[in-house]
């Protein structure tokens, strides 16, 4: 059928008006696609923002972990090691005070001749360059000092005499106390030694004060680091050193600084380490490295303030958000590339920092922690492959004479020179480490004990001719060596093998010392 105009009707039914029906469909499709891609793009952008935010938070956490593990912990261990070394020098003074039982006999004779007592104490004071040397008789509770004072102690006079009654109550074998004078910026270390009768009964205490100038400088230098506070406290928790002198003057307690029982936490420490890193106010608060020296009943604490930690964490988070946000808006693909590049750089920096953390600060060799890790890895490898490997321990002979003759700078120069000699005689696959002081260690993979002895002999001869420039006069520099193979055994754990090889090398080193020093000895065959 046709219309009056002659057009086919059914055809006109499908055409409809312009802008409708079949003509309108492509425009709707484009609109739907546009909306779809807009939603997808927005979702991708929001997803990138979410990932950027999540990554920023993780970076903040990693920054805090880095401060805790790679900044604060090495600082604390360095101060503690310096502190122990300083304290050890004064143990000899305590031993000298008990020489020949003079003080014991003087008290038992009735404390009659004070001039004789002061002459003895004055001799010790001069010998060890002490500020003052004193004695307290528990029988009469009387204090005698080289400065001429004779005082009867008063338990109620806490300001002056509480130290004695506190010491008498805990009664340790030898106690080294410390007291910081903020006015003079000096740390005084007090050696306290109990005076015992022949039957072990307590007769009194003797001791003296020494200006620990070198350690004072160490504390002050560490306390000047950005955001770092250093504290020392005696056995009852009372603070004896702090960057803020008011804490010392006010007799503040270590447990009150952060509102947590620091001493109790250290006493219950089950980590196997002699220190703890505490976060007293959670992830937004400070980081506190703390340790207790049982040798002289003193607490040491290093704090990285919450403000500094939070500021660095916030800076990391803000920088990550800003960088990621801008790059996400403009170039999503570029964001991925930059984030990957930044991640690689961060990992490389972390790797370099970890490498530095594993180095000995003086010689550049591996420190003890990293060297032990290398030994454990080598034990596992020898167990798998059966290839030989050898551990060599070496110790410089009479190194104290070098320090006494040339001073500690000269001794340091000798250690650097010995480290250089060791590196020159090792292969690229070998490892060397310094265990502290004058003790070094070598790990020689793929080497038999006989080969290791040859290497050790070459190094021994080279050390004998080692004379650092500018160090004069220099006593002879020699070293003793102990050689022990890394021998895997069925049924023996890697941990036991690790301890065994160190024991064997140490025994061989001891044998070299016994047989005259400046020689190489090998651990006997294991039965």
My answer on whether omega of the bond before 86 falls inside 30° of 0, hence cis, is: no
- Report whether pLDDT(8) > 50: no
- Report whether pLDDT(367) > 70: yes
Instruction: Give the CA dihedral 453, 458, 464, 469, nearest 10 degrees.
Output: -140
Q: Which long-range contacts (CB under 8 A, 24 or more apart) does 103-108 make?
A: 103/135, 103/195, 103/204, 103/206, 104/195, 104/196, 104/197, 104/198, 104/203, 107/137, 107/139, 107/195, 107/203, 107/204, 108/197, 108/203
Confidence of residue 429 (pLDDT cuts 50, 70, 90): very high
Mean pLDDT of 41-50: 64
Query: Are 325 and 335 within 8 A, CB to CB?
Result: no
- The Cα 498–Cα 487 span in angstroms is 10
Structure tokens at 111: 């404390």
H or E segment and range at residue 217: helix 213-223
- The Cα 424–Cα 421 span in angstroms is 5
Mean pLDDT of 69-98: 75
Residue 324's Cβ-count burial label (10 Å; 0-12, 13-18, 19+) is: buried
Structure tokens at 64: 């805090």
**Which residues 6+ apart lie within 8 Å of 311 measured at CB?**
none
Supply the pLDDT for residue 3.
Answer: 41
Supply the pLDDT for residue 356.
Answer: 59
- Report whether pLDDT(515) > 90: yes
Burial call 108-129: b when 16+ CB within 10 Å, e when fewer? eeebeeeeebbebbeebbeebe
Residue spans of alpha helices (H) in 268-331: 306-330
Query: Are 349 and 338 within 8 A, CB to CB?
Result: no
- Report whether pLDDT(496) > 80: yes
In the chain, % of residues over pLDDT 90: 27
- Report whether pLDDT(115) > 50: yes
| Tens-digit pLDDT profile for residues 155-208 | 888 778 887 887 787 765 656 666 666 666 666 777 788 889 998 888 999 888
C-alpha 191: how far from chain center: 26
Where are the strands (E) in 49-139, listed by range? 132-137
Backbone angles phi, psi at 516, to 5 degrees: 115, 0
- Mean pLDDT lowest among 10-19, 36-45, 99-108, 369-378: 10-19
Of residues 210 and 20, more confidently modeled: 210
H or E segment and range at residue 444: strand 439-445
Of residues 27 and 109, more confidently modeled: 109
CA distances from 415 to 95, 197, 359, 432 (A): 30, 45, 14, 13
H or E segment and range at residue 249: helix 245-249
Supply the pLDDT for residue 78.
Answer: 78
| Residue length of the chain | 527
The number of CA neighbours under 13 Å toward the Cβ of 228 is 21
- Report whether pLDDT(121) > 80: yes
Supply the pLDDT for residue 189.
Answer: 72
What domains sit in the chain, N to C, each tagged with a CATH number?
A: 368-522 (3.30.70.270)
Torsion sign, CA atoms 256, 257, 258, 260 = negative
Cα first-last separation, the chain: 116
Supply the pLDDT for residue 48.
Answer: 61
- The Cα 192–Cα 134 span in angstroms is 9
Query: Are 134 and 121 within 8 A, CB to CB?
Result: yes
* Global pTM value: 0.44
Structure tokens at 65: 């972990």
Give residue for tokens 């997803």: 47
């Amino acid at each position: 059928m046709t219309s009056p105009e002659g057009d086919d009707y059914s055809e006109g039914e499908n055409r409809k008006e312009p802008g409708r029906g079949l003509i309108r469909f492509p425009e709707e499709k484009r609109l739907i696609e546009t909306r779809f891609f807009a939603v997808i793009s927005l979702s991708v952008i929001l997803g990138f923002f979410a990932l950027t935010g999540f990554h920023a938070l993780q970076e903040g956490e990693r920054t805090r972990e880095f401060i805790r593990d790679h900044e604060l912990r090495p600082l604390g261990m360095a101060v503690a090691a310096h502190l122990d070394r300083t304290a050890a020098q004064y143990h000899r003074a305590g031993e000298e005070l008990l020489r020949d039982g003079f003080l014991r006999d003087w008290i038992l004779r009735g404390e009659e001749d004070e001039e004789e007592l002061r002459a003895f104490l004055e001799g010790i004071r001069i010998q060890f360059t002490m500020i003052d040397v004193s004695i307290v008789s528990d029988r009469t509770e009387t204090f005698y000092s080289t400065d001429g004072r004779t005082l009867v102690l008063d338990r109620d006079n806490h300001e002056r005499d509480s130290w004695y009654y506190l010491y008498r109550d805990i009664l340790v074998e030898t106690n080294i106390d410390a007291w910081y004078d903020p006015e003079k910026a000096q740390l005084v270390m007090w050696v306290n030694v109990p005076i015992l009768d022949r039957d072990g009964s307590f007769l009194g205490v003797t001791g003296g004060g020494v200006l620990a100038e070198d350690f004072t400088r160490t504390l002050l230098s560490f306390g000047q680091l950005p955001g770092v506070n250093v504290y020392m406290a005696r056995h009852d928790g009372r603070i004896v050193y702090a960057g803020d002198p008011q804490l010392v003057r006010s007799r503040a307690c270590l447990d009150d600084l952060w509102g947590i029982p620091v001493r109790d936490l250290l006493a219950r420490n089950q980590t196997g380490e002699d220190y703890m890193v505490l976060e007293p106010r959670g992830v937004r608060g400070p980081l506190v490295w703390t340790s207790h020296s049982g040798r002289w009943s003193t607490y040491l604490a290093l704090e990285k303030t919450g403000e500094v930690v939070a500021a660095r964490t916030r800076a990391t988070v803000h920088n990550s958000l800003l960088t990621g946000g801008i790059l996400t808006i403009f170039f999503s693909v570029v964001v991925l590339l930059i984030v990957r590049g930044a991640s690689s750089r961060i990992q490389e920096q972390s790797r370099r920092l970890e490498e530095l953390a594993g180095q000995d600060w003086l010689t550049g060799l591996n420190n003890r922690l990293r060297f032990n890790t290398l030994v454990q890895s080598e034990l596992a490898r020898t167990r798998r492959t059966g290839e030989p490997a050898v551990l060599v321990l070496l110790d410089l002979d009479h190194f104290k004479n070098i320090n006494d003759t040339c001073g500690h700078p000269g001794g340091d120069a000798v250690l650097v020179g010995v480290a250089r000699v060791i590196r020159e005689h090792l292969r690229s696959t070998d490892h060397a480490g310094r265990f502290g002081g004058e003790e070094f260690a070598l790990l020689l993979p793929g080497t038999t004990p006989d080969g290791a002895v040859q290497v050790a002999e070459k190094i021994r001869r080279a050390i004998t001719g080692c004379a650092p420039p500018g160090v004069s006069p220099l006593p002879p520099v020699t070293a003793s060596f102990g050689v022990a193979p890394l021998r895997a055994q069925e049924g023996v754990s890697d941990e036991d093998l690790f301890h065994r090889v160190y024991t064997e090398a140490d025994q061989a080193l001891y044998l070299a010392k016994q047989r005259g020093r400046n020689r190489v000895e090998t651990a006997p065959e294991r039965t």
